[in-house]
Structure 1
Amino acid sequence: MLRARQGLLLLRPLAVAVPWGPLALAAGLSALILLPALLDDPAPAAALLELRLAAVLLGAGASFAMTDGMAPTVVTATPRWLRQWLRLAIVVLPAALAWLALHSIAIAVLGSGATAPAGDLAVEAIVCGFTGVAGAAVAARYRHTQTAALAGPLTQFTLATFTFFIDKQHSPWLPPGSPNWSTVHRYWLLGLPIIAITLLLANRGTWPLRRPSFRQTPSQLRITIEPDRISR
């Protein structure tokens, strides 16, 4: 009950403190890149590609909320894990709604079976988006600056680049109707627990930013005398 009450009290100040600019920019770019596939020449393949790209962009924008610039200077009565999960929830909800809105628009224009099975595409979007958030959450344990959030897009870019070296039959970016679609999406499902475990580990207490100081007060000093030195 205490943590729930603290969470409710923290929602408003955290919502104000979260940098919304990157997420707003990602949402605008996602809508912009989807428009040509819907208006000029409706193309299901292009719409699928752009929905995948939209998930990556929205995840990259949400990753900037995982760094807390006030963490090194302010002592709070709430644990870090509570603040980090609240930050995550605050940005993930609008990012998910933005992607669902784009997906709904694509379905309304192109038809229900034009892009990909909704469940499989949603799993792709979750993995693509949360990969960036998880990368930024890990970096936020080391650094409290906004540059640490760049670890999110960098993680996405690194993993996406790696997928282009996979043969086409087992590529994670298969078009709908491919023979290996079901097999490949089992691997997409494996990404969900990996990301969940990463977030659970990253959203705990902060790792030390520097080595502990060796300065001690006289009361903290312990003097040990070795017997062989006494004999000398």
Structure 2
Amino acid sequence: MRSTVALLARQAALLVAPLIRAVPWPPLLAASALAVAGMLPALLGAAVPAASVWGLRIAALLLGAGASFAMVDPMAPVTITATPRWLRQWLRFTLVVVPAALVWGALCLAAASTFPAAPVPGLVGEALVCALGGPAGAAVASRAVAAPAAALAGLAFQGALLVMTLFVPSRWSPWALPGTPSWAVVHLAWWAAVPVLVAVLFAANREVR
């Protein structure tokens, strides 16, 4: 067991540099730029609390969409490697999710002064679901289609989830604002959705047989 873990650690270390070169960074860079631009009023102290909250929600969706493109390995069907697929996929995921999380976290901290209360845990739950939806959808599609277009499935999945929330009665809308009576209840649902998306990622990142 210990030798297997050590072998996987060595393989992961050797894969990091090639994957950094292989991952398509422009979508994530563009998403980060748009996220920052959308939060400029809050960063400059000129936004109302609702605008800051919605800016963070949109930023999470954008960053998740940008990260989706990293989950597709165009060479997977024609390249035989000594490393398992799940290791390569999780490394791809980590390489883009860590900087995306840092960008969103920095925006959240910068805008925190505009919040009327302290809704950060709830906003984190929202951001995790909004951001993980893109990579999860792309990871599922990449099992069948190893082409960059498969990343669009992540965007489509995000869009489908967003449209579904529009049909929820306004009293229980997941897009409640801090301080409203339904805030605590709807954010239990947000946090409950996080392990579901993580499970989808685990299932999608398995070997393709």
Question: What TM-score, normalized to structure 1?
Answer: 0.85
- Deviations 1:168-208, CA, capped at 9 Å, x for gaps: 1100000111111111111111111111110111000125x
Alignment of 1:124-139 (within 5 A): 124-139=126-141
Aligned match of 2:193: 191
**Partner of residue 117 from structure 1, selected from 116, 119, 141:** 119
Relative distance call for 1:116 and 1:163 in structure 2 (3 A) is farther
Q: Classify the secondary structure of the residue corresponding to 2:76.
A: coil
Return the offset for 1:152.
0.6
Would you say 1:166 and 2:168 are equivalent positions? Answer: yes
More helix by share: 2
Relative distance call for 1:33 and 1:141 in structure 2 (3 A) is same
Distance (whole Å) between structure 1 residues aligned to residue 53 and residue 164 of structure 2: 20
Distance (whole Å) between structure 2 residues aligned to residue 86 and residue 42 of structure 1: 37
Would you say 1:11 and 2:16 are equivalent positions? Answer: yes
Would you say 1:35 and 2:40 are equivalent positions? Answer: yes
Distance (whole Å) between structure 2 residues aligned to residue 104 and residue 40 of structure 1: 13
- Deviations 1:81-109, CA, capped at 9 Å, x for gaps: 0000000001000000010111111125x
How many residues matched?
204
**Partner of residue 157 from structure 2, selected from 155, 160, 169:** 155
Contact kept, 8 Å, 2:64 with 2:135, in 1: the verdict is yes
Distance (whole Å) between structure 2 residues aligned to residue 84 and residue 149 of structure 1: 13
Would you say 1:66 and 2:56 are equivalent positions? Answer: no
Return the offset for 1:41.
3.3
**Partner of residue 145 from structure 1, selected from 144, 147, 150:** 147
Return the offset for 1:44.
1.0
Return the offset for 1:39.
3.4
Aligned match of 1:182: 184
Q: Which runs of 5+ in 1 are unaligned?
A: 208-232
Q: Classify the secondary structure of the residue corresponding to 1:175.
A: coil
2:37 partner amino acid: L
Return the offset for 1:38.
4.2
Q: Which runs of 5+ in 2 are unaligned?
A: 1-5
Aligned match of 1:212: none
Return the offset for 1:167.
1.1
Q: Which has the larger radius of gyration?
A: 1
Report the identity percentage.
50
Question: What TM-score, normalized to structure 2?
Answer: 0.94
Range with greater deviation from structure 2 (6-15 or 37-46): 37-46
Q: Classify the secondary structure of the residue corresponding to 2:39.
A: helix
Distance (whole Å) between structure 1 residues aligned to residue 54 and residue 171 of structure 2: 17
**Partner of residue 53 from structure 1, selected from 58, 67, 77:** 58
Relative distance call for 1:115 and 1:8 in structure 2 (3 A) is farther
Distance (whole Å) between structure 1 residues aligned to residue 184 and residue 27 of structure 2: 34
Return the offset for 1:40.
7.5
Would you say 1:90 and 2:95 are equivalent positions? Answer: yes
Aligned match of 2:203: 201
1:70 partner amino acid: M
Distance (whole Å) between structure 2 residues aligned to residue 37 and residue 86 of structure 1: 33
